[in-house]
Amino acid sequence: GQMPVPVPAVMQMRVGSAIPIQQRLNVHTELITPTGMGLVKTLVREFGPLPENAVPTKVGYGFGKRDTGGFNALRAVLFEKKN
């Protein structure tokens, strides 16, 4: 049978967190792996628009190899809050 997307491991890891997941019904493959979800859940403190009261100090990118029909990348930004 077909596996639901996001996969069960990712959804279980999301329990008790506010990690936003936007499901794309036109993509029939996973867009976040359990490994990726583990990294996000461990390292990310906030989700949302770029904060106005902070200065970006580092930017990191990760690029996937799977053909999803769109841009397959993730960007993470570290900020230093202004006083």
Supply the mean pLDDT for the chain. Answer: 88
Position 9 scores a pLDDT of 94
CB 31 within 8 A of CB 23: no
The structural domains of the chain, with segments of one domain joined by +, span 8-81
Q: Which of 31, 28, 37 is nearest to 64 (CA)?
A: 31
pTM of the entire predicted model = 0.74
3-state secondary structure of 37: helix
Position 31 scores a pLDDT of 87
Q: Reply yes or no on whether the pLDDT at 72 is more than 90.
A: no
Task: Write out 11-67 in H/E/C secondary structure.
Answer: HHHHCCCCCCCCCCCCCCCCCCCHHHHHHHHHHCCCCCCCCCCEEEEEEEEEECCCC
Average pLDDT over residues 2-27: 88
